[in-house]
Amino acid sequence: MTLIKHIIGGMPSSGSTDHRQDVYNPATGAVVAQVCLGTEAEVTAAVEAAKAAFPAWSATSPAKRAQVMFALREVMKRRADDIARTISAEHGKTHNDALGEVARALEVVEYACGIADKLKGDFSRDVGPGIDTCAERQALGVVAGITPFNFPSMVPLWMIPMALACGNTFILKPSERDPSSANLIHDLFKEAGLPDGVLNVIHGGKAAVDAIIANNDIQAISFVGSTPIAGYIYRNGCAAGKRVQALGGAKNHMVILPDADLDQAADALMGAGFGSAGERCMAISVAVPVGDETADRLVEKLTPRVRALKIGPPSDPEAEMGPVISAEARERIENLISSGAKEGAEILVDGRGLELQGYEGGFWVGGTLLDRVSPDMTVYKQEIFGPVLSVLRAESYDYAVALINRHQYGNGTAIFTRDGDAARDFAKRIQVGMVGINVPIPVPVGTHSFGGWKSSIFGAHGIYGPEAVHFYTRLKTVTSRWPAGIRAGAEFTFPTMG
């Protein structure tokens, strides 16, 4: 049985306890490994290693730090299939979907390659008599990232490259459900030339999270996961004096106007609703067709496509969708589908009870399509995080906008239309952080930043892109005057630059 260990100061460690957790292959339900569960002792050891590595790493020039990122890019491109296979083995997503995850992670690595330009400061000469002012951004120190199961490579690589490029050292606490990707990320960085101790990996659950929050030497925490845990980490991290960005859950709507190309809209909903078994914080889980005629036509196109979804293990090259992450996730998703039926939704395609020959022990949920869902239903109010698409019929465009704006989540949304005026109005009025116009999953490219609104985020900064530079550095402003410009005599009034 493989034992997945922590990595502290560049070395694997089984930790100070024998606490272990099983790791499953979601396609078979079989235990494939065990992962060590860290406690305060392991977090403390990782922090000490990161603290020891910080002086030399932060003193390394941005250009040389960027060289590590350039090398990492080449290593990742060469080993993309290895990374994807590691993702699929413990998460269950298809190989092509996992390759897409690697590609989106690479965008952030490539952005970090330009860190020397992004850390340039501001300078003003002669702001006063013989006085100059410069502003610069300096690294925070030891920072930490707590990442979810659904993107075990991409989300850590949304954090780590920018944090390290800015001069920080890093503690990664990945999901204990699919932990091997985190250790592989460490190895890829090491192959790219990263010094030992700059990146450390601690596996574990709540005990490890609480130890990260409580450790006084950790200056900042970046988190992606559910809204309740995001709120918990944000409140307690801020109370402990840390800088925190905590990205939470979502309920993403796609509005379909009567003038939209419905074949295009149906294709978009299939990929956005059922890709990665719906286990994406940017998945479209609610289709909002405007008008019953639009809804009827859309449902007519969607129903046979959902029934025909090709579901299988990652080893099946024709699979469009794999299993969900765990037996508990399957039970929760199926219970939400049942609640929809009880509360009046019409089940057009039912994915409950799915079994695949040869993979009877896997965590399977088939594609599910619900029609005539209403805003008061549990299946609408809660984030499902599974392959369930709800159709909520809107009587008007204004009703659709109000519906989305009322929801507690504001992560992503989309509108499909040929009407430029409507699209422009939607982008302006909608109270959501990421908006797609004829784009179903509007995840920004690596040169922009990712972040929702409302209960989908806690903290002032989005993740990766320009926002990351501000999150992982702090501003220092230096005002200087040399002896030749100093006037004689004490100045008792508040200093001015006149």
Structure confidence by residue, pLDDT tens digits, 150-174: 999 999 999 999 999 999 999 999 9
Tokens of 212: 């990260």
Has 134 been annotated as catalytic? no
pTM of this structure = 0.96
Tell me how far apart the alpha carbons of residues 375 and 83 are, in angstroms, rounded to a whole number.
40
Tell the residue number behind the tokens 């690596």, with chain if given: 446
Going along 302-455, which residue ranges are E strands? 346-349, 368-371, 388-391, 409-410, 412-416, 434-437, 453-454
Which segments of the chain have a pLDDT < 50?
none
Tokens of 201: 């990996």
Tell me how far apart the alpha carbons of residues 79 and 489 are, in angstroms, rounded to a whole number.
67
> How many angstroms separate the Cα of 37 from the Cα of each of 160, 179, 280, 300, 375?
21, 11, 25, 49, 40
* DSSP symbol at 394: B
pLDDT for 485 equals 59
pLDDT for 492 equals 72
CB atoms within 10 A of CB 445: 13
Tell me how far apart the alpha carbons of residues 84 and 102 are, in angstroms, rounded to a whole number.
7
pLDDT for 449 equals 96
CB 309 within 8 A of CB 367: yes
Structural domain spans, the chain = 2-248+456-478, 252-437
Going along 296-364, which residue ranges are E strands? 346-349
- CATH node for 2-248+456-478: 3.40.605.10
pLDDT for 129 equals 86
From the candidate CATH numbers 3.20.20.20, 2.60.40.3620, 1.10.3210.10, 3.40.309.10, the one assigned to the domain spanning 252-437: 3.40.309.10
> How many angstroms separate the Cα of 365 from the Cα of each of 78, 277, 344?
34, 8, 21
